[in-house]
């Protein structure tokens, strides 16, 4: 068993399997129960609990965060009984959430003033990638900090890339979410077109997987669209959060993202239909609603 003590705050759809891999690899993992009790299966696997994020930071060398959005990261670190109330000298905070790159740089600067180090390491791969320890991990960190934490990343993921300095990981994740959203929309449109034209949509997908249109999204989310399995996964409301980061960042730096704006509107159609909690593959429902045709 490793002697390294790991704090892990945020044991949701993604965080729980990620923490499980660390436990299975022999790391001592501690969480905070400030919002809700720890999952029983992780407790059975050896997870321990403390009351607050401050307690977790005080008792662990590396503190991993995996929470939904920028405000939650700020609350965990700088809120009452937050991580920053601990002695952070020599400790590393690793934020694996997907949040604002600019906020990330601000958080890192504040932590460094307290003697701690900060890494942003957002992930891609969804629930399946988290469960299979196959996540892509996009890291913003100083080289020496990256090397310290890399063994943990290797337990949780497969494609681990240091993009650059702090904040660059979050920038990469925003770029990823643009590409994912637009590819989901492309797959949704192609399958809806094929279905309404009368073709066997399962055979169409099979054929497309053998050609230039092949993609992981066509493989995984195309199947979800056909089989109507829209339980998350990755919720539409979270993908919309990421696209908001993309669109606000684009406005700030003067980049045109017309198709990203359109994909956000398609997600808005899903929200209007009660689907903010659907898996993001359910963007197909927006195309179906406007086409008066369901492919499944």
Residues annotated as catalytic are 173
Based on the number of CB atoms within 10 Å of its own CB, is 252 exposed (0-12), middle (13-18) or buried (19 or more)? exposed
Backbone angles phi, psi at 142, to 5 degrees: -65, 145
**H/E segment holding residue 220:** helix 216-227
Please name which of 135, 151, 167, 157 lies closest in space to residue 234, comparing C-alpha atoms.
135
Backbone angles phi, psi at 27, to 5 degrees: -80, 150
Neighbour tally for 247: CB within 10 Å: 17
For 219-239, b/e burial (b = at least 16 CB within 10 A) is eebbebbbeeebebbbbbbbb
Task: Please name every residue paired with 32 in a beta bridge, in sequence order, or none if there are none.
Answer: 50
Please name which of 121, 226, 222 lies closest in space to residue 168, comparing C-alpha atoms.
121
Q: Is the dihedral of CA 25, 29, 34, 38 positive or negative?
A: positive
| 111/4 Cα distance (integer angstroms) | 21
- Judge contact between 116 and 60, C-beta under 8 A: no
Peptide linkage before 226 cis (omega within 30 of 0): no
């Amino acid at each position: 068993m490793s002697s390294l003590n790991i704090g892990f705050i945020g044991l949701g759809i993604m965080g729980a399997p990620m923490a499980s891999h660390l436990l299975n690899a022999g790391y001592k993992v501690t969480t905070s129960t400030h919002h809700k009790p720890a999952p029983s299966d992780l407790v059975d696997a050896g997870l321990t609990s403390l009351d607050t994020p401050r307690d977790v930071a005080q008792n662990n060398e590396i503190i991993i965060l995996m929470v939904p959005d920028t405000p939650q990261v700020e609350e965990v670190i700088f809120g009452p009984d937050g991580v920053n109330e601990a002695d952070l000298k020599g400790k590393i905070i690793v934020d694996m959430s997907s949040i604002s790159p600019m906020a990330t740089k601000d958080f890192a600067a504040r932590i460094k003033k307290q003697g701690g180090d900060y890494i942003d390491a957002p992930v891609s791969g969804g629930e399946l990638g988290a469960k299979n320890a196959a996540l892509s991990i996009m890291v913003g960190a100083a080289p020496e900090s990256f090397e310290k934490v890399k063994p943990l990343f290797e337990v949780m993921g497969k494609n681990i890339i240091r993009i650059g300095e702090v904040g660059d990981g979050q920038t990469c994740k925003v770029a990823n979410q643009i590409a994912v959203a637009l590819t989901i929309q492309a797959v949704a449109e192609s399958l809806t077109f094929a279905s309404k034209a009368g073709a066997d949509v399962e055979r169409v997908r099979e054929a497309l997987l053998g050609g230039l249109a092949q993609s992981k999204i066509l493989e995984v989310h195309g199947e979800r669209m056909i089989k109507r399995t829209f339980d998350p996964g990755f919720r539409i409301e979270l993908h919309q959060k990421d696209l908001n980061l993309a669109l606000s960042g684009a406005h700030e730096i003067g980049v045109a993202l017309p198709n990203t704006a359109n994909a956000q509107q398609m997600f808005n159609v899903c929200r209007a239909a009660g689907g903010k909690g659907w898996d993001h593959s359910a963007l197909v429902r927006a195309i179906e609603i406007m086409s008066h045709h369901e492919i499944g």
